Amino acid sequence: MTDISIDDQLGRIALLTRLWPWLFLLTLLTFFEIWAQIEVGRSFLFNAYNAQAILLAASAPLLLATGQTFVIITSGIDLSVGFVMGLAAVVVAQVTLLTGNTEIALLVGIAATLLVCAISGWISGTLVARLGVPAFIGTLGMYGVARGAGFLSAGSGMTVSIDNPGLVWLGTGWVPVIVTGLLLLIMHFVLSQTRFGQYTYAIGGNLQSAARAGIDVKRHLIKIYILSACFAGIGGIVYTARYAAGAANAGESMLLDSIAAVVIGGASLFGGTGNVIGTLIGALIIAVIQFGLIFIDVDAFWQFIAVGVVIILSVLIDQYKDKLVRAA
Partner 1 sequence: MKPILEARNISIRFGGVEALKNVSLGVSPGEVLALAGDNGAGKSTLIKVISGVYHPHAGELFFDGAPLHLRDPQDARAKGIETIYQDLALADNLDVGSNIFLGREPMHRRFGVNVINRPQMRKVAREVLDRLDIVVPEKKLAGPVRTLSGGQRQAIAIGRAIYWDARVLIMDEPTAALGVPEQRKVMELIHGLKAQGVAVILISHNLHDIFGVADRILVLRRGELAGERLVKETDGDEIVRLMVGDTYAATKTATAT
Judged by the rule CB under 8 A, the positions of this chain that interact with partner 1 are 7, 11, 193-195, 198-199, 201-202, 204-206, 208-210, 212-215, 272-273, 325, 328
Smallest gap from Cβ 17 to partner 1, in A, equals 13
For residues 272 and 7, what is the distance between their CA atoms, to the nearest angstrom? Answer: 24
Smallest gap from Cβ 206 to partner 1, in A, equals 5
User: Residue 233 or 271: which CB sits closer to partner 1?
Assistant: 271
* Helices assigned H by DSSP within 1-134: 2-35, 48-73, 81-98, 103-129
Return left, alpha or beta for 101; rule: phi > 0 is left, psi -120 to 50 is alpha, else beta. Answer: left
Smallest gap from Cβ 257 to partner 1, in A, equals 26
User: Residue 167 or 202: which CB sits closer to partner 1?
Assistant: 202
User: Residue 161 or 206: which CB sits closer to partner 1?
Assistant: 206
Say if CB 81 and CB 255 are below 8 A apart: yes
Smallest gap from Cβ 324 to partner 1, in A, equals 10
168 Cβ contact list (under 8 Å, min separation 6): 241, 244
Say how many residues make up the chain.
328
User: Residue 97 or 211: which CB sits closer to partner 1?
Assistant: 211
User: Residue 81 or 215: which CB sits closer to partner 1?
Assistant: 215
Rg (CA), the chain: 21
Smallest gap from Cβ 72 to partner 1, in A, equals 13
How crowded is the C-beta side of 27, counted as CA atoms within 13 Å?
Answer: 6
